[in-house]
């Protein structure tokens, strides 16, 4: 296999696993340079007005034809390395009982390292500044990030994990290698930044699962969570990221909130939610500062039926969002016709399950009581500030609830269903006004805030 690797990467990369002794270069002056008839840069600098200053040599620009030729050559080597990785991983996964010695593991890691290097060369060549748009689109066209993760990292990690504990050292070594390469891609190939961030989180989660020491296990868990949070901040609509965060979280209200947010586009998260011990009572002191936002998200997720389409509140919210999007598109475009969107109706009352209605009433009772407790202005300013995060999230929900009530007025049946389930009339507006009056001295009310309030934004 070593000879095969030389064919894949001839003289391009140095094996980092070997110890290389580099001799310090001997200082050379202009007089010590070999004689030549051509005028060198150093000799020009020696006789120039500013002696000792080395002039910048002329650089020849890379032509488009040279780039295309180089990209083709790199991709050819990449295909060879990819085929070898696929065949090797498939053969090792097919026979998990066969033990491999240290040299075989080293050769397998070297092969996957060469494949990762080929991907780096391909991305650097296609994203070169003088590259044309069609060449820059090649990584997306060929699905390079997905192939890099599957064939270069994930499949081999599964092989290594299935051979534990004999492969424990090699698992750690390869995870460090893959993590360093992903960090390099994160810095040098920002075109796929979202993919690299999630891959870094996945690698940290792999490393966490392999760690036996409690402190190191927790540390890698925090690293993985930091990458997933960064990814979710960039794309809050992707529920898969919240599902990863929920898996990393210990049984707590925060884990329940992560699962609630993951249900938005990922309905199968309900299975994970069902089998995790999030409903086990834990005797801990509740804190608005630490648990307020999680409690608000969990309450809202329960009100919306944890992702079930038959929930009437969710149907009304979806209908209102569609109406608002239609109005926004029409206001920004006077020439293009916007096709009408289909309305999402709640299920007929006779078809709704009695259990669903009971759960909705329980969720509404929990939500309103939590909001009532948070808005009761306490004597302590610290407690008042700590609960402001929870109240802020709930006010956003109430704002959307009022928008849904307004937008569903064109549909009498849906508007009546919304009012019967959870209408704006059930909010204690006097308590809301009292809370805002207490909030005024702590948070100055600017002119911009007043203008937004008058416009209903």
For residue range 288-339, list pLDDT tens digits in order: 777 788 888 888 887 877 767 667 777 777 777 777 777 776 655 544 443 3
* More confident position, 369 or 332: 369
Percentage of the chain beyond pLDDT 70 is: 73
Neighbouring CB atoms inside 10 A of 130's CB total 11
CB 245 within 8 A of CB 229: yes
Task: Count other Cβ atoms within 10 Å, centred on residue 295.
Answer: 23
Task: Please give the residue that has the higher pLDDT: either 396 or 411.
Answer: 396
Cα separation, 455 vs 457, whole angstroms: 6
* Architecture of the 1-9+65-235 domain: Alpha Horseshoe (1.25)
Distance CA 225, CA 205 (A): 8
State residue 12's pLDDT score: 45
Averaged over 96-110, what is the pLDDT? Answer: 85
Higher pLDDT, 280 or 363: 363
Q: Residues with Cβ < 8 Å from 146, sequence gap 6 or more?
A: none
> Which of the two residues, 12 and 269, has the higher pLDDT score?
269
Higher pLDDT, 235 or 38: 235
The answer to whether the peptide bond before residue 19 is cis (omega within 30 degrees of 0) is no
User: Which span out of 11-25, 48-62, 322-336, 382-396 was modeled with the highest average pLDDT?
Assistant: 382-396
As a whole number of angstroms, the distance between CA 323 and CA 407 comes to: 7
Give dist(CA 35, CA 420) in Å, integer: 95
Is 80 exceeded by the pLDDT of residue 398? yes
> What distance in Å separates the CA atoms of residue 325 and residue 345, rounded to the nearest whole number?
17
Nearest to 357 by CA among 412, 343, 365: 365
d(CA 290, CA 292): 6
pLDDT at 29 > cutoff 80: no
Cα 118 from Cα 80, distance rounded (Å): 10
Q: Work out the pLDDT band at 62, boundaries 50, 70, 90.
A: confident
Using N-to-C axis directions, what is the helix angle for 168-188 and 193-210, rounded to 10°? 160
| pLDDT at residue number 54 | 62
**Among 27-41, 270-284, 377-391, which stretch is predicted with the lowest mean pLDDT?**
27-41
The answer, yes or no, to whether residue 255 has pLDDT greater than 90, is: no
Look-up of token digits 């040279």: 66
Q: Which residues of 141-157 are buried (b: 16+ CB within 10 A; e: fewer)?
A: eeebbebbbbbbbbbbb
The CATH 1.25.40 domain(s) of the chain lie at 1-9+65-235
pLDDT bin (cut points 50, 70, 90) of residue 150 is very high
What whole-number distance in Å separates Cα of residue 233 and Cα of residue 216?
A: 26
Is residue 34 pLDDT above 50, yes or no? no
pLDDT of residue 335: 43
């Amino acid at each position: 296999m070593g000879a095969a690797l030389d064919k894949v990467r001839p003289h391009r990369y140095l094996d980092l696993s070997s110890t290389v002794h580099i001799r310090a270069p001997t200082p050379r002056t202009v007089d010590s340079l070999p004689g030549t008839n051509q005028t060198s840069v150093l000799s020009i600098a020696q006789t120039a007005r500013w002696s000792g200053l080395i002039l910048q040599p002329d650089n020849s620009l890379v032509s488009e034809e040279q780039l295309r030729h180089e990209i083709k050559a790199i991709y050819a080597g990449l295909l060879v390395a990819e085929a070898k990785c696929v065949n090797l991983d498939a053969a090792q996964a097919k026979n998990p009982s066969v033990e491999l010695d240290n040299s075989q593991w080293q050769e397998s890691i070297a092969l996957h390292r060469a494949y990762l290097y080929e991907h780096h060369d391909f991305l650097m060549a296609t994203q070169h500044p003088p590259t044309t748009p069609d060449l820059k689109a090649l990584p997306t066209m060929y699905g390079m990030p997905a192939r890099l993760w599957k064939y270069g990292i994930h499949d081999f990690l599964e092989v290594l994990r299935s051979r534990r504990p004999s492969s424990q050292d090699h698992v750690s070594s390869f995870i460090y290698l893959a993590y360093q390469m992903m960090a390099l891609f994160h810095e040098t190939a920002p075109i796929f930044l979202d993919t690299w961030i999630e891959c870094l989180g996945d690698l940290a989660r792999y490393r966490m699962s392999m760690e036996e020491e409690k402190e190191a296990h927790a540390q890698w868990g925090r690293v993985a969570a930091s990458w997933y949070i960064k990814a979710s901040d960039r794309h809050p609509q992707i529920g898969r990221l919240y599902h990863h965060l929920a898996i990393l979280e210990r049984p707590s209200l925060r884990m329940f909130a992560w699962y609630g947010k993951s249900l938005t586009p990922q309905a199968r998260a309900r299975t994970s939610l069902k089998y995790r011990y999030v409903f086990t009572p834990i005797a801990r002191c509740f804190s608005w500062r630490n648990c307020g936002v999680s409690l608000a998200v969990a309450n809202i997720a329960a009100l919306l039926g944890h992702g079930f389409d038959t929930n009437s509140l969710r149907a009304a919210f979806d209908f209102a969002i569609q109406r608002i999007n239609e109005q926004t598109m029409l206001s920004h475009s006077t020439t293009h016709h916007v096709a009408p969107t289909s309305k999402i109706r709640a299920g007929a009352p006779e078809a709704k399950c009695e259990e669903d209605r009971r759960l909705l009433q329980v969720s509404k009772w929990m939500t309103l009581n939590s909001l009532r407790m948070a808005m009761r202005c306490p004597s302590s300013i610290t407690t008042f500030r700590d609960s402001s995060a929870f109240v802020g999230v709930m006010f956003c929900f109430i704002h959307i609830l009022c928008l849904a009530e307004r937008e569903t007025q064109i549909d009498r049946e849906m508007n009546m269903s919304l009012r019967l389930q959870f209408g704006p009339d059930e909010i204690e507006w006097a308590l809301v006004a009292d809370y805002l009056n207490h909030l005024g001295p702590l948070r100055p009310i600017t002119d911009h805030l007043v203008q937004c309030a008058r416009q209903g934004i």
